[in-house]
Amino acid sequence: MTDAPRSRRERPAKPALTREGIVAAAVAILRAEGLRKVTMRRLAQELDTGPASLYVYVRNTDELHAAVLDELLGTVGPAPAEGNWRERLERVLTAYTAMLLEHPSLARSALTARPSGPHYLRLIETLLGLLRDGGVPAAQAAWGVDLLLQHATATAAEHAGDEAPDEWQALIRALREAPAATHPHIAADADALLSGTPEARLSWAFRALINGIERTAVPTEGQEAR
């Protein structure tokens, strides 16, 4: 004898939708299926609701992806206590880059995403504080944060394409086989162009940028007009 169908009134009520719950479900989909699956339709399916219900909390997919990015920024810890301000700054930036490298599709999206949540604000506050601890003037620190995050994000997005090894190997061959008669600098520096581990190159880039930010004044309004 089969059980009688249960009345809708007897079924447990679905949990109420919240922005936090929606973002948490989106992060779970990202981890399991990748960013391309983080759509309003797929999210509605996961939450057993209609896509229209989600728009009350998230305006569109772009805003959803930005919220996912902000949520994952919560895994980037605070600045370490040990080391000078440069070392601490580099470690925070490296942790941010590593988080994006764990989610290749998100790294590409982060190039245009505009997160504005609490974790992103905390990251900016941390970077600004470390630059100011180093005596970097306020305007240079402000512009410098943007530059540092741009480089970290672009680096992660670039390495997110490492699943296409044929293209990378083609570039290596092109650099190594460039004729000295037409490309003397490439021929002379091919080994240097391809040298260094990703970790070493990332560390060098951060240090080069930090040194430049520290020493390069932001132009005044009169200078911008020239």
Q: Please report whether residue 168 resides in a domain.
A: yes
226 or 84, which is more confident: 84
Instruction: Enter the tokens of residue 224.
Output: 């911008």
Q: Please report whether residue 43 resides in a domain.
A: no
46 or 160, which is more confident: 46
Angle at 161 between CA 78 and CA 91, to 5 degrees: 20
In this prediction, residues 195-206 reach a mean pLDDT of 95
Q: Please report whether residue 98 resides in a domain.
A: yes
CATH code, domain carrying 174: 1.10.357.10
Mean pLDDT, rounded, of the chain = 88
Q: Please report whether residue 32 resides in a domain.
A: no
Enter the pTM of the model.
0.83
Q: Please report whether residue 94 resides in a domain.
A: yes
Q: Please report whether residue 27 resides in a domain.
A: no
Cβ atoms of 105 and 153 within 8 Å: the answer is: no
Full residue range of the structural domain in which residue 166 is found: 82-217
Q: Please report whether residue 50 resides in a domain.
A: no
Q: Please report whether residue 14 resides in a domain.
A: no
Query: For 203-220, how does the pLDDT look when each residue is reduced to its tens digit (9 = 90+)?
Result: 999 999 999 999 999 998
- As for how many domains the chain has, the answer is 1
